[in-house]
Amino acid sequence: MALVNSFSPGFHGRARALTDRLPPGQYPTESFPVLSAGPTPRVATDTWLFTVTTELGETRSWTWDQMMALPQEDTVQDIHCVTRWSKFDTRWRGVPLDAFLEDVETRAGHVVVSSHGGYTTNMPLADLRGGKAWLVHGYDGFALSPEHGGPARLLVPHLYLWKSAKWVSGLRLTTEDEPGFWESVGYHDYGDPWREQRNWGD
C-alpha cells in the first residue's frame, strides 16, 4: 500500500500493476545494489571460456567470439534479491541457455553453476531451459560491468538473484542435487521469490 500511496492519483493504476509484480517481503528500488561473496574477478574476453560438462564428464566449450556468434536476445526482466530489494524492467542482452544445452545428451536433472573466483550455485536443470534463463553480457545498452558480473553472468529471473551467478564460467550437469556456496550455509536450495524461499525451512 505504501508503494501505491507514493504515486499521484494519475499513476494509481500503474502502481497497482507494479505491486502485483512485487514478491512478498520485497521493496522496489531504482538502484542496482552490488552484492558479492568475494572480490570482483577481472576476466578478459580473449581468455574467457564457457564450458558445459555432462554427468559423464563430456565437455563442450565456447570462447567469447563463439558465444557472441550465437543468436542474441534482448530481454526485459524483473529481478529480486534475497536481501529484499526488487528492480523492475531490467534490460539485458545475451544468449538463451537453451542454445548451449540443445545438443547436450544428458539424463541429469540438476546443475551446478561455477564462476571465476570459486562461487557456485545449484538448481534444477529444467530452470535453465525453455526460455527461462540467459547467459548475459549486456545491461541497459552497455557491456556488462565487472561489478554486476561482467563480462558475462547467468540470468535466472524467476529465482532469487543469488542463483544468477556472476562471472560465470560453466555448468556441470549432475544426477543428484549438490548445494552451492550460499545453499551450503543456510540459503534455500531452490530460492523462489514468490514463496519467500530465503533460508532452509522456508
Q: Which CA distances in Å does 74 have to 94, 184, 194?
A: 7, 33, 24
Per-residue pLDDT, 6: 42
Q: CATH no. for residue 123?
A: 3.90.420.10
Residue 146, in any domain of the structure: yes
Q: What is the 3-state secondary structure (H, E, C) of 35-48?
A: CCCCCCCCCCCCCC
**pLDDT given at position 19:** 79
Which DSSP letter does residue 98 get? Answer: H
Domain-embedded: residue 180: yes
pLDDT per residue as tens digits for the range 105-135: 999 999 999 999 999 999 999 999 999 999 9
Q: Is residue 200 part of a domain?
A: no
Q: Please, are residues 153 and 35 in contact by the beta-carbon 8 Å criterion?
A: no
In this prediction, residue 1 carries a pLDDT of 34
* 115 inside domain: yes
Rg (CA), the chain: 17
Q: What's the whole-model pTM score?
A: 0.89
Is 138 within 8 Å of 94 (Cβ atoms)? yes
The whole-number pLDDT of residue 34 equals 81
Residue 131: what pLDDT? Answer: 97
Give a yes or no: residue 72 inside a domain: yes
pLDDT for 8 equals: 45
Q: Is 33 among the domain residues?
A: no
Domains in the chain, number: 1
Residue 9 forms part of a structural domain: no
CA–CA dist 104, 60 (Å, integer):
9
DSSP lists the bridge partners of residue 95 as 135
Question: What pLDDT is attached to residue 156?
Answer: 98
Domain extent, residue 180, equals 39-195
Inter-residue contact 198 to 187 (CB < 8 Å): yes
Task: Please list the ranges in the chain whose pLDDT falls under 50.
Answer: 1-11
Q: Cα dihedral sign for 91, 98, 187, 56?
A: negative
184, part of any domain: yes
